[in-house]
Amino acid sequence: MSRIGDALHRLEETANRKTAFIGLGNRDRGDDAVGLRFAEDLRRLNPNRIFSEEQGLEEVVLDILMRKDVHSVIFVDTCDFGAEPGEIAFLQSDDIGDEISTHKVPLAMLMALIQKEGKKAYFVGIQPESLDFGKDISEIASASLKRIEEAVEKKLRL
Sites of contact with other proteins (CB under 8 A) = 56, 58-59, 61-62, 65, 98, 100-103, 105-106, 108-109, 112-113, 116
Q: Which is nearer to other proteins, 1 or 100 (CB)?
A: 100
Q: Which is nearer to other proteins, 97 or 157 (CB)?
A: 97
What does the H/E/C string look like for the chain? CCHHHHHHHHHHHHCCCCEEEEECCCCCCHHHHHHHHHHHHHHHHCCCCEEEHHHCHHHHHHHHHHCCCCCEEEEEEECCCCCCCCCEEEEEHHHCCCCCCCCCCCHHHHHHHHHHCCCEEEEEEECCCCCCCCCCCCHHHHHHHHHHHHHHHHHHCC
In angstroms, give the least distance from the CB of 155 to other proteins: 27
Q: Which is nearer to other proteins, 7 or 61 (CB)?
A: 61
In angstroms, give the least distance from the CB of 91 to other proteins: 14
Q: Which is nearer to other proteins, 17 or 116 (CB)?
A: 116
In angstroms, give the least distance from the CB of 95 to other proteins: 12
In angstroms, give the least distance from the CB of 56 to other proteins: 6
